[in-house]
Amino acid sequence: MQNKINTIIAKTSKIILGKEQQIKLALACILARGHLLIEDLPGMGKTTLAHTLAQVLGLQFQRVQFTSDLLPADILGVSVYDRNEAAFKFHPGPVFTNVLLADEINRATPKTQSALLEVMEEAQVTIDAVTHLLPQPFFVIATQNPSSQIGTFALPESQLDRFLMRITLDYPDAQSERRLLQSNGGREQLAHLSPAITSNELLELQLACQQIHVSDALLDYLQAILKYSREATQFTSGLSPRAGLSLKQCAQAWAMIHGRDHVIPEDIQAILSSVVGHRLLNSSHLENSTETVAALIRAVAIP
């Protein structure tokens, strides 16, 4: 099992150069059955990462470029009257897949965004009172430009909460960038990439992830973090119970990726920024989320 995980990471790292940490985070997010939000400037390899992950995990992949005129039906599908059968027939939209890449999700209107977010929550589509189940596994990798860019509809806080993790890619280091420039970009290799696992194996990994042991001592630490976030004044609101659960699941996945059968406080610290960065609102709005989370880690003692 550990081999498979290592293979996944190795294969992905060949395409996305010098971003092992982000790859691991993204993988942890998938293992913890969550949806992933990648936020960064255009051209940082967001789409490539999403595409690579789908390919490596042997999953069916659909990509939707979100634009301001995209409608919910463009994602979910639409019922069309079939003259031969004299009935409405449902034409599934791109959402009926394993991995949906929602590219530049913040360019679509809130109406379309919320249609997607509903699907993410329920893993099913209901149209004309008929419920269509999505294939399993199903997850959404959304990319978003920082909302300060012109012509975007920032996701509201309540919808950000639907994403288990939010990661950023950042500029590559000099060495990786040199290699990137020497090649022709990752896209060509991507076409030749063979899957490391099957989708069934992924489901098994997801199940195994839940079995990673979480001791009482670790829960004490987790609760100390939640308590602090609720009592400290630098946050306008503390972490919700859902955020707490998310933290636990991601830490389990992180421990699994690192070949441990139990979670240690370092796991929590490693995934904390990605899991709570978009959930904690800094009341002063001055620091960015990474600094805020770093301060949070520093402030909470490991019991």
Partner 1 sequence: MQAPSQPRMPHLLWLLFALSCTFGLHAFNLHYWISIAFAGLAIWRYLIEKYQWPYPPLWLRLPMTILGGVAVLGTYGSLFGRDASVALFAVMIALKLLETRNARDYIVMIMLGYFLTINTLLFSQAMWVSFAILLPIMALTACLIAVSHPNATLPWATQAKLSGKLLLQSVPIMLVLFVLFPRIPGPIWGIPHDAYKGMTGLSDSMEFGTISDLSLSSKIAFRAEFQSAIPDNSALYWRGPVLWHQEGRRWRMTSDTLPLKQESLEVFGSRVDYTITLEPHNKNWLLLLDMPIALPADAYAKHDLQILTKQPVRTRIRYAGQAHPQYKLGQTLGERERTLALQLLEDENPKTLQLAAQWRKDLAAPLDIVNAALRMFREQEFIYTLAPPRLGENPVDDFLFNIRRGFCEHYASSFVYLMRAAGVPARIVTGYQGGEINPNGNYLIVRQSDAHAWAEVWLKDKGWVRVDPTSAVAPNRIEYGISNSVSDANLLPILARQDYPILKKLYLNWDAINNGWNQWVLGYDEQKQLQLLKKLLGEKIAWGDIGLLLMSVLIGLMLVISYLLLRNKTIILDPLRKTYQQFLSKLGKIGLVKANHEGAIEFGERAAQRLPEQVSEIEAISRLYSDLQYASLDKTDNRHQTALQLLKQLVKNFKIN
DSSP state of 148: T
CB 293 within 8 A of CB 272: yes
219 vs 247: CA distance, rounded Å = 11
126 part of the interface to partner 1, by CB under 8 A: no
CB of 280 to partner 1, least distance (A): 15
Applying CB under 8 A, among 95, 218, 256, 276 the residue interacting with partner 1 is 218
208 part of the interface to partner 1, by CB under 8 A: no
217 part of the interface to partner 1, by CB under 8 A: yes
What is the number of alpha carbons within 13 Å of residue 161 lying toward its C-beta? 14
282 part of the interface to partner 1, by CB under 8 A: no
263 part of the interface to partner 1, by CB under 8 A: yes
Applying CB under 8 A, among 129, 233, 241, 285 the residue interacting with partner 1 is 233
CB 61 within 8 A of CB 51: yes
Burial class (CB in 10 A: 0-12, 13-18, 19+), 96: buried
Quick one: 192 or 298, whose CB is closer to partner 1?
A: 298
Applying CB under 8 A, among 50, 117, 264, 280 the residue interacting with partner 1 is 264
Applying CB under 8 A, among 265, 271, 275, 289 the residue interacting with partner 1 is 265
Q: By CB under 8 A, which span of 14-22, 45-53, 67-75, 294-302 interacts with partner 1?
A: 294-302
CB of 273 to partner 1, least distance (A): 14
1 part of the interface to partner 1, by CB under 8 A: no
Q: Give the other-Cβ count within 10 Å of 244's Cβ.
A: 18
209 part of the interface to partner 1, by CB under 8 A: no
Q: 223 φ, ψ to 5°?
A: -70, -35
Q: Give the other-Cβ count within 10 Å of 193's Cβ.
A: 17
DSSP state of 141: E
Q: By CB under 8 A, which span of 46-54, 69-77, 133-141, 225-233 interacts with partner 1?
A: 225-233
Alpha carbon distance, N-terminus to C-terminus of the chain: 32
Q: Name the residues that contact partner 1, by CB under 8 A.
A: 213, 215, 217-218, 230-233, 261-266, 269, 283, 297-302
